[in-house]
Chain A
Amino acid sequence: MKAVRSMVLISNDTESIALGANEVFSAFQQKIQDYGLSDEISISFISDIGHNSAAPLVIIYPEAVIYGPVKPDDVLDIVEEHLDKGHIVERKLVPAHELSEHLTWLSSRKGTLPAENRIVLKNVGLIDPENIEDYIALDGYQALGTVLGKTPAETISIIEDSGLRGRGGAGFPTGLKWSFVAKTHIDKKYVVCNADESEPGTFKDRLVLEGDPHAIIEAMAIAAYAVGADEGYVYIRGEYRLAIERMKVAIKQAREYGLLGKNIFSSKFSFDLHVHAGAGAYICGEETALIESIEGKRGEPRSRPPYPTTFGLWGKPTLVNNVETLANIPAIIRNGADWYRSIGTPSSPGTKVYTILGNVNVTGLIEVPMGITLREVITIYAKGMKGGTFKMAQTGGSSGSIIPANLQDTPMDFDSFKTASVSLGSGALLICNEEICVVDLAKVLLNFFRFESCGKCNPCRIGCQKSFEILSNIAEGIGTLQDLEDLQMMANQLYELSNCGLGQTAGSPLKDILTYFHAEVESHIRLKVCPADTCPMSGKTIYHVGQEVKITREHGA
């Protein structure tokens, strides 16, 4: 993307438009052009920032200042003083109490644009992944060498101090997990890389596996040294054919160079790695289901406790880490824990790879420090909505939360998300405009869960199927108000009773659409209208699992 030095964001919710936002926008366009700053400064609309009494607002980055109410006459001052000369126009700043609660944080956010900072994706696209020499040339395997000169305990300390948290979706402190495995006194331990990446909307791990497989090998060797393991598995989903091939080639080369196998770097440390391919099951991304799959069984999650850190692969202590988590390890070792802490937020240091998908202008992957907001992602990186206005986004993949417009400014790190009860998950961001019907989307999501459910526990196996059927009925216009209550109950109990994360998060979309889009769902039921004009509303009924039976007047239904 083009580098701009400043961003101007203008609110265009109904209120703002009524108060002249469009004219303000045109004024900015004109004035910025007049001052010859068109190439350095971008102007965008931001939709629905919540109610506030200072509309229209103008937010300017990187200073993160909010001006309002802004009239077309004010624009010249802002452009001349602020954008051209760098002086904040104090008199136009909005007093904090006049801002909606979603924007008060902005005053505490000073600093640079949340710019991309490639740690995980450092080498991706720059090196030949099938040539170990490329990797070595860019400081590859240096971290492993460093670590072998330290004790395992020291290594774990570095990771603990860095504050790295699992990037697979759970956000568990990585150093702590390593220490659990290291603490066990069993002769045989394993490290496993979870490269099952089946969360819809997520393909960050694939890029690392295809573009920089040695980073994972090095990270796993470091982890094995730290926890006391001598054998590891990279579990890659079966559909990632290229990733599997590249990883196999990388392992072969690493062995040839003595970076895997016996006595690495002439130390007492020996470690070898195998690639194990999955066979098409989302549930195998769950730690214990993954372990069951490696053992050649159905991928049904085990009961926990005991956790894999004490009873994992073939009953031995096993460390399971996500690809993205591991990809951070060599950099942390090379640059130190303090360096890592300096990026991101206090509770969630480091960067996160986000996938931007949906009805936006630019889709793809970005790696930015933790704490970026959804609005920033949409406006800065996705270059705004592609037609239509922002309606909702699903963060964290299909098992993530559906968030409405007024939560766009929540900083995306593990804890902020938790307090706003929104899930960060794998970092997939699916951004939808008003053409996407929530009922239709929820139907697609529940279809995914009912297909991927392993079937072991009742709440998930039956709950996902039933929820799908209820949503289908609502989409066909034969839903009832009781259905809303049933869906709410499903959502709550799925979370409360399921055996693993799949069931627990399958209810999130249900909970969210009922919380934030209740009216839209009700409209399908009471008015038999799909506001987004997507749902069939044809009065059909689902009789058999997966089959549809048409009920017509003649059948007397």
Chain B
Amino acid sequence: MSVEVKNGLDIKKTIRELIKQHGTERAELIPIMQKINADFGYISSEAIEELALLMNLPTNQIFSVATFYRMLSTEPRGKHVIQFCESAPCHVAGSRQVWLALQEALGLENGQTSKDNKWTLLTTSCLGACGIGPVLVIDQNIYGNVQPQQVKNILSRYE
């Protein structure tokens, strides 16, 4: 997912529309947050406050749920989010070398965003694509059978 930072007004409007679509039942909290995360790259404190108001939930509960799930972030992320599988099957397929190549190419530690805000580097647990490990996901794109020497080329495809 590529991220467009939208201004404060749009967040409220987006959330109101989402509430219209989904309703205010507690069960809709996570699906709504998924959409907010997809559109804005993360769930800001403004978003949490608006959700709290419209869904009649304490901000603490929303924040607590949002930070529990890996796919949701309460911190801003870079324009392109890299997710690298660090689970056992990809490990056995040689993922460590790919990880080192990624770190070298980006100069980032796990969880960090680059200074120019272009990249956020994250490790992730198994994505269910083990047959083509090592696996790398950038935004919505999955790269399989990744070799260390391919890393630079893959990264170069993103603006």
Contact = CB atoms under 8 A, between A and B. Distances in A.
Q: Do chains A and B make direct contact within the complex (CB under 8 angstroms)?
A: yes
Interface of A: 197-203, 206, 237-241, 276-282, 293-299, 355, 357-359, 363-365, 394, 398, 428, 430, 432, 436, 440-441, 444-445, 447-448, 451-452, 454, 546
Given A199-B126, A201-B126, A279 B34 contact: yes
Given A279-B30, A280-B69, A298-B64, A359 B92 contact: yes
Given A279-B69, A448-B88, 17 more contacts: A198-B126, A199-B126, A240-B128, A241-B140, A277-B34, A278-B69, A280-B71, A293-B30, A298-B64, A357-B89, A358-B93, A428-B89, A430-B88, A444-B87, A445-B88, A448-B86, A451-B125
A281 B70 contact: yes
B89 A298 contact: no
A251 to B, nearest CB: 15
Contacts of A199: 126
Contact of B89 (A240, A294, A358): A358
A139 B127 CA distance: 32
B87 A206 contact: no
A424 B92 CA distance: 20
Contact of B128 (A203, A279, A359, A452): A203
Interface stretch (B13-21, B129-137, B150-158): B129-137
A279 B70 CA distance: 7
Contacts, number: 119
A441 B125 contact: no
Given A428-B89, A430-B88, A200 B130 contact: yes
B98 interface: no
B92 A432 contact: yes
Contacts of B124: 280
Given A203-B129, A296-B30, A364-B131, A239 B88 contact: no
Contacts of A203: 128-131
Q: Which 7 pairs, one residue from A and one from B, show the smallest C-beta to C-beta distance?
A: A280-B70, A279-B69, A280-B71, A200-B126, A200-B87, A296-B26, A296-B29
A199 B131 CA distance: 14
Contact of A279 (B71, B89, B110, B131): B71
Contacts of B87: 200-201, 398, 444, 448
A355 B91 CA distance: 16
A277 B125 CA distance: 17
Contact of B130 (A280, A355, A441): A355
A364 B144 CA distance: 14
Nearest to B62: A296
Contacts of A451: 125
A441 B91 CA distance: 8
A354 B140 CA distance: 27
Nearest to B140: A241
B130 to A, nearest CB: 5
B92 A430 contact: yes
